[in-house]
Every structure is written in structure tokens, then in C-alpha cells.
Chains A and B, each alone.
Chain A
């Protein structure tokens, strides 16, 4: 073990000293990081909902939630409790099995994708080798859930919304995957840990955003489109489709959609910060700070400092991006469906292909800057 503090090891040792076998200890350990990530995802949603309410209020010169807790911070919890106790309605002519399965299929892939989100060198659930590819594969399942709920609602607006959602996420997945591919080309690895480490050599200057500015913009646009955020929220365009595939949903099933879309937004922001903004890296590398303070890099104090700064930096970068997304939502007009598909297929796709080709060329020409 090259690192000083290892919570899993100490936890297992503690359980072993209580008389459990190492396998039992491992099984008891396994759900803990998952629960932690699930909790942080849900808390992240609550924070984002509050931010959305407050920022939209500021953009429209209102005050926003005010009475539930200080500055209305408890408003999202009140919203959640309200959805929890609402009546669960399944329309009489709807297909009840598909109607129930739809929201679940939308939420599960999003939560599963948190598997590969690192908050620090060893602070992730699983460092699977296929890393970022897992997220691309999982996010391609989502349209099935949307189509399912759109179809099962037995409502023309829902069906149209579901079809639009599927068309949108299929068209924007391709430029998204191509811009990720350019990063992978520079890293020589699919693992999210390797992608961040590759950007950590000289702090802020080595972040991928300087080497992949076009890829960054393409990825951000496509991520917003995949989350169905406002410039691209065609599937639930209120003026045309009532609420798209969510029209017939109420109570907890609606809450699942709501939760899914916000978890997806935070996930996309986290992925942008991992792929382009150096992940958990501080703008000045921690090694330099440790050397400046004359403390060995393996000292427990530096370990704790690195982990703390890692989590803080990841969350900070992600929430900066969430803030931009919310601001975009409340200040930009919506695109039309044909403009949306034109943008995806005729603009983003060729540009991301050219970006990939350019990255490959630069990798051959300047291997010291673009990962030999």
C-alpha cells in the first residue's frame, strides 16, 4: 500500500477483531461506499433544486423560497415530502406494468453511473478498467425507459414526448462519445482515475480544457441535451406537449423522473469537471504545496488534506457547472425540434469528428503535450 490512510483496511481489521471472518467483513463493507454515494447524490439533488429555485427567482427578479428554513433551504425537502405522500395514480387505460417500469428504468442507469465518479485518488466505488465507457453505455439505456413511459401512458403528448426524448438522446450521444474518445486518445486509458491523473502534472495549466477547448464545448452542449435541460428540453416542451412523457405521472413515479433528471445533471457536471477541469486536482498541485511546507507526501496530515481538497474541488467545479446550466436554463430560449436535430447532426457531429482527427494528428506530432 503506497498510501497512509486506508479506511477499508481499518474497517476490515476492526470487524476481524470483533470475530468476523474476512469475507463477512468484506460483505459488510461493500454496501457502505454505495450508500454513501447514493446519499451524496440525493443531497446533491436537494442542493441543486434549491439553487434552481433561488437562481431562477433572481433571474426573474423575484425572491424565491423564503420561509422554509433560512433562505428557504428546506424547500426541496418539503417538495420531496409532498411528492412522497401524494396519491399514486395509474390512468385507467394505461399499461400499468410498463407505466411503473418506465421511471425505474430511467433512474437506475443514472445512479449506476456514479460507480465511476472519483472524488479523489482512491475515493470512488470501483475503478473499473472500462471507466468512462461504462457511463456512455449506461446512458444509452435511458431512452428505453422514456419510450416505455411515453408509450404506456396511452396519451398522444406522452408518446410524442417519449419519441422526441429518444431521438434527442440518440443524436447527441454520438458527438458526446466522440469528444470523450478524444480525451481517451490523449490518456491512453478509459479509467476516470487515469484521466484525472493525466491532467495533474502542473496544476491548472495541464487541465484538458486547454488542450480540448472544442471538445469541452461539444461535451457540455451534448450533456445539457442528454439531461433535457432548457435550451434542449424539447421532450417536455410545455407549450406543445403539456409535459411530454411525464404528463400522466404523479406522486412518487413523477418524483423518480424528477430525481433522475437532477442526478443526471449533477453527474454530467461532475463528468465535465473530471474530463476537462482536472477532477479532484487543486489548481496548484498538492505535491508542490507539500514540498513548500517541507512535509513528506505520505504524512497523515497531507493525506487528509489531499482527500479533503479533492472532494471540495470536485464538488466546487461540479456546482460551478450546475450554476452555469441553471443560468442557461432561465436566460435562453428553447430551440425548435428541427433546429435541435440540425445542430446535432449537421454541426456537432462533423465538428467532433474533426476534433477527434485533429487530436489524433496532434498526438502523433506533439506526443509530449498530447499524451504519447
Chain B
């Protein structure tokens, strides 16, 4: 066995272990902050798996989008609204847990079934495109995957407009969450710069 193959196997097993343990931690840990940080670790390890598969562009995009944007925003949001509050114990927690476990196990068995029944097309090491993959991804995005690509961008635009509408309460006369009329004077006061010359 050559050194390259050994390194690959070692890396693969470490990354898979980190992904599985990290993902379990994300779900099972009590502290939401730890869960969020572990989620970042899981995303990073998945990027590592992409690197092992010679897909360096996908790996970098995974880090940029999932770790750099999604995970940072999740942590940001948690820290901005990190209120210490005592949550009420949920009733019949055990039945909920059992139903969750059954659903998850069913999904898992379905995935295993798909994995075993499907014949996976394995690219031989000689035919892997490696560094050229960036160009290939671009070609595909602007030819046969053009529609999904554009639809995804429209979706993002919609999300952005929604976020702006939610953030700029002054364009609406009713509060979105409570339905009460919004005090316009207060909002105008809040948006005034602090260090302005008095007229």
C-alpha cells in the first residue's frame, strides 16, 4: 500500500469520525452555543471530504458559504438574543422522543437501502478532472443547469427582500409579530443620527 493511499484512508476515517460525533453533538448537546460551533466543525469536515475527492473548488465554496456565511450568521443570531430563560418542561417528552427516533431510523434505513441497491459509477483516478473542475462547474451552471441556478438566485432575492421588509418596520404601520400599530415618532427618533447639530 503506497503512502498516498494510507494518508487518504487515515484522513477519511478521522473526517468521518469528526462528522458523525460532531453531528451527534449538534443534536444532543444542551447548550445551543456549543451546538452552533460544532455545526461549523461538521461543515469544515465535510469540506475536507470534498478535498479528498479532488473537488477543491466545491470544498472552498463549502467553507465560504456554510462556515463563513451560514454558520457565522447562526452564531451571530444566537449571541444577539442569548437570553437566559427557564424553559417549561415539555409534556409527554418520551412519546415525542420515541416518534423522532422512529422517523430518523426509517429515513436512515431508506438511505442505506438506496446506497446498497444503487450501482454507483466510480470515476477512475485517471479520468478525474481535478483542477479543471472549476471550469466544468461554470460550464454546467450556464448550460444545462441554468434554470435551477437562476431559480435559486430568485429565491435568494426573495429572502433578501423579506428580510429588509422585516427589518425596516417604518415602511409598515403595523407591527408584524403583534399586529399593534407602530409608533412612527419613536422610529423616526431612532433613525436620527446621534451627533447632529440641533436646528
Contact = CB atoms under 8 A, between A and B. Distances in A.
B72 A166 contact: yes
Contacts of B75: 144, 147-148, 166
A142 B128 CA distance: 32
B91 interface: no
B134 A130 contact: yes
B72 A143 contact: yes
Given A130-B60, A163-B79, 13 more contacts: A98-B33, A129-B57, A129-B131, A130-B57, A133-B60, A134-B56, A140-B64, A141-B68, A144-B37, A144-B67, A170-B73, A173-B68, A190-B134
Contacts of A227: none
B61 A144 contact: no
A140 B76 contact: no
B79 A147 contact: yes
Given A136-B64, A140-B63, A159-B79, A129 B3 contact: no
A167 B61 CA distance: 20
Interface in A90-131: 98, 128-130
Interface string A141-157: 10110011011000000
B118 interface: no
A27 interface: yes
A186 B173 CA distance: 48
Interface in B117-136: 130-132, 134
B40 interface: yes
Interface in B21-69: 33, 37, 40, 44, 56-57, 60-61, 63-64, 67-69
Contacts of B72: 140, 143-144, 147, 166, 170
A174 to B, nearest CB: 10
A337 to B, nearest CB: 11
Nearest to A173: B68
Contacts of B57: 129-130, 133
B87 interface: no
A137 interface: yes
A173 B63 CA distance: 14
A138 B47 CA distance: 12
Contacts of B94: none
Contacts of B79: 147, 150-151, 159, 162-163
Contacts of A128: 56, 131
